[in-house]
A = this chain, B = another copy of it.
Amino acid sequence: MDMYSQINKSISRYVTFTQQELDIFNSLLEYRKVPKKTIMLHEGEMCNFEAFVIKGCVRKYYIDANGFEVILQFAIEDAWVGDNSFSIYEDKPSRVFIETLEDCEFLTFNPETKEELFERAPKFERAFRILIQRHLTITQDRLFNTISKPAMEKYLDFLELYPTVPQRVAQHYIASYLGISAEFLSKVRAKIAKQ
Contact = CB atoms under 8 A, between A and B. Distances in A.
A72 interface: yes
A130 interface: yes
Given A70-B147, A146-B146, A87 B118 contact: no
A85 B85 CA distance: 17
Interface residues of A, number: 37
Contacts of A179: 146-148
Nearest to A136: B136
A115 to B, nearest CB: 11
Contacts of A136: 84-86, 132, 135-136, 139
Chain A interface mostly: helix
Contacts of A126: 118, 125
Given A139-B139, A143-B72, A86 B133 contact: yes
Nearest to A149: B64
Given A70-B148, A146-B146, A129 B140 contact: no
Given A85-B137, A122-B122, A143-B146, 14 more contacts: A64-B144, A66-B148, A70-B144, A84-B136, A86-B134, A86-B138, A89-B133, A118-B126, A125-B129, A129-B132, A132-B132, A136-B139, A139-B140, A146-B147
Interface of A: 14, 62, 64-66, 68, 70, 72, 84-87, 89, 118, 122, 125-126, 128-130, 132-140, 142-144, 146-149, 179
11 contacts: A62-B144, A70-B144, A84-B133, A85-B136, A86-B130, A86-B137, A86-B138, A89-B133, A128-B129, A129-B129, A142-B143
